Amino acid sequence: MTEKLRMASPDLAEANIDKLAELFPTVITEVHDEDGNLQRAVDFDSLRQELSGCIVEGPQERYRLDWPGKRAAAFAANAPIAKTLRPVREESVDFDATENIFIEGDNLDALKLLQESYLGKVKLIYIDPPYNTGNDFVYNDTFANSSADELRRSGQTDNEGVPLVANTDSNGRFHTSWLNMMYPRLRLARNFLTDDGVLVVSIDENEHANLIELGKTVFGDASYVGEIVLKNSNKNDQSFISIQHEYIVFFVKNKQANSGEWVEKKEGLEKIYATFNRFRKEHGDDWAAINRAAKTWYKTFPPNDPVFASKHYDNMDARGIYFGSDISGPNDGQYVYDVLHPITGKPCKRPSRGWVFPEASMKEQILNNRVHFGLDHTTVPKIKTYLKDTEYQSLTSIRFVDGRAASKRLAKLFGEKVFTNPKDEFLLRDIFRAVGVGGEDIVLDMFAGSGSAMHAVLERNRSEASSSCRYIGIQIAEDLHESLKTAKGAARKITSNAIDLLTELGRPATVAEITKQRMRIVNKQLDGDLLVDSGFRVLKVDTSNLVDVWTAPDNIAQDILTESITSLKKDRTAKDLLFQVLLDWGLELSSSIIRETVDNREVYAVDDDALIACFAESVSPEVVRAIAERSPLRAVFRDDAFETDATRINTEQIFREVSPSTEVRTI
């Protein structure tokens, strides 16, 4: 029965070996590890032979993105960690009912811990990573090199630190550090995406080119599907060219599974409809007067206003607002005949390629008032295209967004400015909708920052009754005091007001606390909306629930041995152990949890008895039988809860008799 749970993140290298063993069993061999124990390994010479038609040998030149530390970064993505996620009920909102998750900690650790629970379940991953403006990274991974090491290895300095090339800040180190930080995270992120999943990344010009190549490296060349150029500034303070835009870059996991039919509703429609209704009241059925008024009105909008993009919809009839579109035929000279002008009675000027319809169809269109005629027969008629029929358009590559709007909304939310240049939650909401996020989809943001993407998910749900998306947000507990000291220019995201606010609330001065506080405020705003789940479960990355034992067996004193009977840390609660079990068994962290009491012992039923856990320090036969009679899919107990071998054997016997299909384990 009692196979022990692993209590660590999955070993992705081992998982990859398993996949290779399925495809190429002859390439799997055995080698001795550092302790002399046999372990599986891949014979790469044999693997080259298996792939002899397409392998690139040794140092031969090939097209790929390379940088110092790439192999170490890949190793960092695969290496298991002895960590866990601990629930924090007092920092959560609606802990028992919500399906949203917020994780505080390094996102590399969090992504590893979530691998089995969310493999292939996330529809969209949004990230707003560090833009690499030359400042030190918060994400200081253990495999990353120091600045001096990186400069030496990349050939920018010699062993004594003397520069070998000019302008070291723009050579190697900054780009390498950023790539080493991003590479393992993107590799892990890809595993979460559904087959039709989408990765959306906000980035500026510093790493834009590298991001696209890195995305292709991780997701495949065909994965990159385009980008939005986001004009969000009018600043004029740079040499050469003043950068007034950022990028939102899109990758898809599988083009065959994602049709790419991404559409968005045109902006400014409400204003257009309201204005034309006013024109109709003023001019009645004088369509020419309405056309003149519309042309004048459209001229009052600058090119970056969304109304300006629809300025060609300047005509109106009894059906609604329209513009006259081209009536030319698809093939030169295919449909050539006379169309008489309704007023002059003379043949209208024909388009050079002939008409788009055969003559009978054209007569029907004219009869139904679907053709727009000029003042007389000297102009080519046009087909009426109505605004109400074309409210949606393909996701467009250029977007004008006032960068101050999101900042003002966030400042209003907090009552003061605490975060500079947050991402626009309404823009993200519209992007999520456009790429098909809806229903019960999951959105993951592993650089949560101010919480804009999490807020956008709630706005997505609020805007459409059929949408009940969930979010997983991850944010490291970056110290705000240190951020204010080191961050400069655009990299400075936090204001001193944030520290004052958190101090007043009695909370640590970290970015993660700002994220949580924003979502608490949003929850209060949406409290009356029963259709939107605006709560969130807080979990924090922490050390393993298992005791660290570093003493050699010969040196363990009797009193230490007595204290070490249990392998679990004394400060860990039953809820801590339960969430560890959820991770180990690959269950979602948003699963429903019901606490019950059986024979004076605490029992947790998860997700309608998909799992029943009892972490009491001793387990009675009554508890075991009560759990077995519910026939859960899985059951788990503390390993030290069985005082004798007889108790353990009796537990095995009860499950064999009462619920033989239940998978039973211990921790």
In this predicted model, what pLDDT tens digit does every residue of 321-375 receive, in sequence order?
A: 999 999 999 888 889 999 999 999 999 999 999 999 999 999 999 999 999 999 9
Lowest mean pLDDT among 395-409, 478-492, 595-609: 478-492
* Average of per-residue pLDDT across 464-490: 83
| Vertex 325: Cα angle to 322 and 328 (nearest 5) | 155
Provide the pLDDT for residue 160: 44
Regarding whether 571 and 630 lie in a shared domain, the answer is yes
* Average of per-residue pLDDT across 126-151: 60
Provide the pLDDT for residue 60: 61
The residue with greater pLDDT, 560 or 628, is: 628
* Average of per-residue pLDDT across 107-130: 96
Lowest mean pLDDT among 86-95, 313-322, 550-559, 604-613: 550-559
Regarding whether 162 and 249 lie in a shared domain, the answer is yes
**Is the pLDDT score of 528 beyond 80?**
no
pLDDT band at 155 (very low <50, low <70, confident <90, very high): very low
Regarding whether 402 and 386 lie in a shared domain, the answer is no
Would 130 be classed as within a structural domain? yes
Give me the CATH number covering residue 229: 3.40.50.150
Provide the pLDDT for residue 543: 92
**Is the pLDDT score of 116 beyond 50?**
yes
**Is the pLDDT score of 565 beyond 80?**
no
Q: Is 497 strand, coil or helix?
A: helix
**Is the pLDDT score of 644 beyond 80?**
yes
Regarding whether 249 and 118 lie in a shared domain, the answer is yes
Would 71 be classed as within a structural domain? no
Regarding whether 87 and 34 lie in a shared domain, the answer is no
Regarding whether 216 and 95 lie in a shared domain, the answer is yes
Give the C-alpha separation, 85 to 539, whole Å: 6
582-597: per-residue pLDDT in tens?
999 999 999 999 999 9
pLDDT band at 262 (very low <50, low <70, confident <90, very high): very high
Would 254 be classed as within a structural domain? yes
**250 bridge partner residues:** 200, 226
Domain stops at, among 393, 409, 432: 393
Task: Region of 657 please: left (phi>0), alpha (psi -120 to 50) or beta.
Answer: alpha
Provide the pLDDT for residue 559: 47
Task: Region of 256 please: left (phi>0), alpha (psi -120 to 50) or beta.
Answer: alpha
Give the C-alpha separation, 102 to 511, whole Å: 13
Regarding whether 531 and 466 lie in a shared domain, the answer is yes
pLDDT band at 23 (very low <50, low <70, confident <90, very high): confident
Provide the pLDDT for residue 11: 76
pLDDT band at 447 (very low <50, low <70, confident <90, very high): very high
Lowest mean pLDDT among 14-18, 48-52, 553-557: 553-557
The residue with greater pLDDT, 166 or 152, is: 152
228-260: per-residue pLDDT in tens?
999 888 877 777 888 888 999 999 999 999 989
Lowest mean pLDDT among 43-52, 85-94, 463-472: 43-52
DSSP 136-200: PPS---TTPPPHHHHHHHTTSB-TT--BSSS-GGGSSHHHHHHHHHHHHHHHHHHHHEEEEEEEE
Provide the pLDDT for residue 5: 66
Regarding whether 614 and 487 lie in a shared domain, the answer is no
Would 569 be classed as within a structural domain? yes
Provide the pLDDT for residue 492: 57
Regarding whether 191 and 114 lie in a shared domain, the answer is yes
| Percent of the chain whose pLDDT exceeds 70 | 86
The rounded mean pLDDT for the chain is 86
Nearest to 449 by CA among 139, 24, 176, 37: 139
Lowest mean pLDDT among 205-214, 545-554, 603-612: 545-554
Q: How many domains does the chain have?
A: 4
* Average of per-residue pLDDT across 445-450: 95
Regarding whether 405 and 375 lie in a shared domain, the answer is no
* Average of per-residue pLDDT across 253-280: 94
| Tally of residues, the chain | 667
Range of the domain at 34: 10-56
Regarding whether 409 and 388 lie in a shared domain, the answer is no
Specify the amino acid at residue 483.
Answer: S
Provide the pLDDT for residue 482: 78
Would 4 be classed as within a structural domain? no
Provide the pLDDT for residue 493: 72
Provide the pLDDT for residue 564: 42
Provide the pLDDT for residue 39: 77
Provide the pLDDT for residue 195: 96
Provide the pLDDT for residue 56: 57
